[in-house]
Amino acid sequence: MRKVEEAEAVVLGAGVAGLTAAWLLKERGLRVRVVAQSLGEASRVPVALVNPLRGKRFTLARKGEEALEAALRFYSRFVSLHLGVYRPVPKGEREKVAARLGGLKHSWEGEGVLLEEAFWLEPRPLLERLAEGLSLQRARVLAWEPPYLALEGGGRVRGEVLVYAGGGQGAHLLGLPGRYIPGLVLTLLDYFPRAISYRVYLAGSVLGGSYLPHQGTPEAPPPTEGEAEWLLQGAEALLGYRPKVASAWRGMRFRLDGPTLPGGMEPPGRGIPYLFPVEGGFALTGLGSTGFLYAPWLGERLLSALGW
C-alpha cells in the first residue's frame, strides 16, 4: 500500500494562482501542500504586466483597482516591482480614456497616461521565492478524487480542502470547459525600465501582446514569423525603430467558458468567474491574460469563501 500524504489544504498547481493561494492559506496557519509537475506553465512568461486598464479600448478590469492594490501588497514582499505603465492614448480619445481610469493613480504625460501604480515584474524569480516557503511536491496528478489527488506512480495526497489551480494543463481533470489562446513573447537586446503598452507592450527586456485565434487543446503551436513581425511592427510604432530580438517564448493562456461551468457552479468572486466551488473544494483558474493581476485578490477571496 502506498503512503497517503495529508494536509489541511492541498493545492494542485504551482503557477502564480496556486502558489499565491497556498501562501495566503499558510499565513492563516493552515498546513498546506502544493502538488505540481512543474513550477508554473503560463506563469513562466518572461515578464508579466500588472495593468488593470486593458486593451486598445482602455477598459478598466472588473475590480481592477482592488486587484491592483492586492497585487502591490503581495508581490512586493517577494520581488522588485517596476512601477509605472505608460499608455499612449490615440488623438481625440483623451476624454474617453480619462473617464475610464476610475480611482487608478495616474498622471498625463505627452500623448499618453502614466498609470503610476501599475507595474511589471519577473515571474520566474517570483515563483521560486514563493515555492521556497511552501511544501511543494513535484508529481503529476492523474485524477481529482476528493478528498484525494491521485498521483502518477500510485501515491495519493489527501486534503480537507482541495484547491484546483492547474491552469489549462490540468483542466481535463475536472472537466472544465475552456479555450486556449497562444501568445508569443520576444526577448530583446534593449531594456525598457518603464513599461509602454498600446496594442503591444515593451517592459524590461520583452516585447509581447500577441494573441492567436483560440484552440480547444493546450498543445502550443510553434511561433510563427507572422506573429513576430506583427509584434515588431507594433514596437516600431511605439519606439520609432525596430528593437533587436534575442529569443522567443511561446505560452498558452487559458480561459474558461464561464456560463457553462459544470454542475451549475457559481463563482463567489462577485462576478469574477475565476474562483468557484468544485467537488472537494474550489477552483481558481481560467485567468486568461490577467493571472498576475488577479491572483492575490482571488487568493484573499478564497480565504473568505472558506471562512478562514
Ligand X SMILES: Cc1cc2nc3c(=O)[nH]c(=O)nc-3n(C[C@H](O)[C@H](O)[C@H](O)COP(=O)(O)OP(=O)(O)OC[C@H]3O[C@@H](n4cnc5c(N)ncnc54)[C@H](O)[C@@H]3O)c2cc1C
**Interface residue list for ligand X (CB under 6 A):** 13-18, 36-38, 40-43, 45, 48-50, 140-141, 165-167, 169-170, 183, 185, 208, 251-253, 285, 287-293
> 24: alpha, beta or left, given left = phi > 0 and alpha = psi -120 to 50?
alpha
Contacts of 24 (CB under 8 A, 6+ apart): 74, 296, 299, 300, 302, 303
13/296 with CB nearer ligand X: 13
Least Å distance, CB 35 to ligand X, is 6
C-alpha cell at 271: 462576478
Decide whether 89 or 151 has the Cβ nearer to ligand X.
151
Minimum CB separation of residue 212 from ligand X in Å reads 10
Q: How far apart are CA 44 and CA 48, in angstroms?
A: 9
To ligand X, the closest distance from the beta carbon of 17 in angstroms equals 3
Q: Which is nearer to ligand X, 80 or 96 (CB)?
A: 80
CB of residue 141 vs ligand X: minimum separation in angstroms?
A: 4
Minimum CB–partner distance for residue 291 and ligand X (Å)? 2
Residue 148 near residue 11, CB atoms below 8 Å: no
Burial class (CB in 10 A: 0-12, 13-18, 19+), 175: exposed
| Assigned C-alpha cell, 94 | 483623451
Amino acid at 270: R
* CB closer to ligand X, 165 vs 188: 165
